[in-house]
Amino acid sequence: METLEAIHARHSYRGEFLDVPLPREDLERIVAAGLAAPSGRNAQTTLFVIVDENGPRESIRSLHATNKAMRSAAAFIVCLVDRDPPPTYEGLSFQVEDCAAAVENILLTITDLGYASVWVDGWLRMEDRAEKIAEMLGLPEEKVPRIILPVGKPAGEEKRKEKLPFSARAWFNRYGG
């Protein structure tokens, strides 16, 4: 798949996944694409835990009652950040931005390989879920899950939401055209 094809084909998949394991080679390729993303000051602070074994995967699945993707994922990719990120430039930290850039590369690679996923972020920050997952994964105290991606082979097609037209969200030289 060409880069632009993957960009336009990528979508948030919230449906069920087929009950088939993902090859570790594919999971490594997917996360390696994330590690290749740019990072502020080239600090390379973005870390991942890939969850593909039944025990930890089932523990994470059990935390979400309604999202079909979370309940049936063949694997989870968890992006980690520091709880109190140290500054990397002029007193600023870019760990959240670095994590986001890496996750976008991952989502495009997931699409390219014929899998699907959905970016899950806000759900982690409610009801101590990030803390629960941190404990499940044995994270050191200074690390916290920021984004979790359920990954798998989609069981079916979902109706995709239409993107707004270019002219509604982008302009040349001046806001609003």
Is 163 part of a structural domain of the chain?
no
Q: Which of the 8 DSSP states describes residue 63?
A: T
Is 72 part of a structural domain of the chain?
yes
Tally of domains within the chain: 1
Is 171 part of a structural domain of the chain?
no
Element of type H or E holding 117: strand 116-117
Q: Which domain holds residue 120?
A: 3-158
Q: Which residues contact 54 (CB under 8 A, 6 or more apart)?
A: none
| Residue whose C-alpha is closest to residue 76's, from 65, 61, 86, 94 | 61
List pLDDT tens digits, range 116-167: 999 999 999 999 999 999 999 999 999 999 999 999 999 988 888 899 999 9
List pLDDT tens digits, range 65-110: 788 999 999 999 999 999 999 998 999 999 999 999 999 999 999 9
Is 134 part of a structural domain of the chain?
yes
The pTM assigned to this predicted structure is: 0.95
21 class by beta-carbon count within 10 Å (0-12 exposed, 13-18 middle, 19+ buried): middle
**Given this model, what pLDDT does residue 160 score?**
85
| Residue whose C-alpha is closest to residue 31's, from 99, 90, 97 | 99
CATH number reported for the structural domain that contains residue 139 in this entry: 3.40.109.10
Is 167 part of a structural domain of the chain?
no
Is 169 part of a structural domain of the chain?
no
List pLDDT tens digits, range 11-57: 999 999 999 999 999 999 999 999 999 999 999 999 999 999 999 99
Is 90 part of a structural domain of the chain?
yes
Collapsing DSSP states into helix, strand and coil, what is residue 4?
A: helix
